[in-house]
Amino acid sequence: MSTYYGEFSVSNDALGDGQELRRRMDEDGYLFIKGLLDPGKLLALRQEILQVCRAGGWLIESTELMEGVADVSRQCTEGDPEYLEVYHEIYKLESFHRSGHWPEVLDVMENVVAGSVLPHPQKIARLWFPKYTEHTTPIHQDYVHFQGVYDTYTCWAPVGDCPRELGGLALLPGSHKINAVHAHHFSLGAGALAIDEEELPRDWLTTDYEIGDSLIFHSLTVHQALPNVTEDRLRVSLDNRYQSAEFAIAGHMLEPHIGGEAAITWEEIYKNWESTELQYYWKDLELETLAWIEKWGVQAFEEALDRARQGDPQARHNLRRMLKSDTQSDSAKRATAALAE
């Protein structure tokens, strides 16, 4: 069976009508809104992000900055120390964190949750190199990564135009109605967890995103990134999460993105900010926090170990990547042993 990519239904006609937005979210598991974000603010943010990328050596020096022309010899992704060197500098940008609180986004999310909305402190930028398709974010549900309550929503927005070949998001409409989490397995792609495609229908939706477009979807909605098959363009996007302020939140979502031994602290992030308005904004909310559910990550790691022992190149690459930043933990020792086998 071939995979068919249809077009999203546009929900601009329902803006301001909370009841209709919630009905569409309940039915389809997503809302696609054209031009929700201000292109001017996005372009200013894109310039700041790409300046950091250029300073980190990711972009070709002789090219126009805003084109995002990548040096493909510098390919890396989440989990690589060289990725974190640049990503942490982006994570310190006050403008990047402020984008998750832009009023045009909060207005829609307040309608979706029918009340006061909590933007997750853990903001996320996605920076994707061209011709790096094996590492593309695989088919998954966000809940396995961000957890908390099911009624948590992702707002994904490209920071610049994002035609299909640049690798925007695609999703399966109505797939959240399972009201449960699919089995996830080891994957080399971002997040390291994937649903077997054979278990799913093939009626995917996507679009050629334009700057300002936003895709909002439920934590159980099955989705994936398309591969960045351009010759030399870096894909830059925002990937933020929202929920009702009345609900509990997973504790790790109150920490900066990408933890572990190389984690950055809020103190480091806030050091050069001009304003304190958004610093620790969640601490006065008396939020109930939920513990991390380990089972999906544990299962994927066990699968990676088993596949590495059998010589699987993707699993071996994944374990070697882990060992770049962790050599002392029990998991690191098991990874070293599996690679030796």
- pTM for this one? 0.96
- CA dist 161 and 178 (Å) reads 32
Domain boundaries, the chain: 4-292, 294-341
Radius of gyration of the chain (CA): 19
List average pLDDT for each run of 10 residues in the chain, which is 341 residues long: 81 97 98 98 98 98 97 94 95 98 98 97 97 94 97 98 97 97 94 91 94 98 97 97 97 91 91 97 95 95 96 95 87 95 90
CA-to-CA separations, 184 to 10, 60, 143, 181, in angstroms, rounded:
30, 37, 11, 8
Q: Could you give the angle at the alpha carbon of 84 between the alpha carbons of 78 and 258, nearest 5°?
A: 60
Residue 1: per-residue pLDDT: 40
Of 271, 282, 280, 326, nearest to 116 by C-alpha is: 282
- CA dist 152 and 167 (Å) reads 24
State how far Cα 198 lies from the chain centre: 23
The DSSP symbol for 8 reads P
Amino acid at 48: E
CATH of domain 4-292: 2.60.120.620
> Counting every residue, how long is the chain?
341
**CB 256 within 8 Å of CB 126:** no
Residue 2: per-residue pLDDT: 52
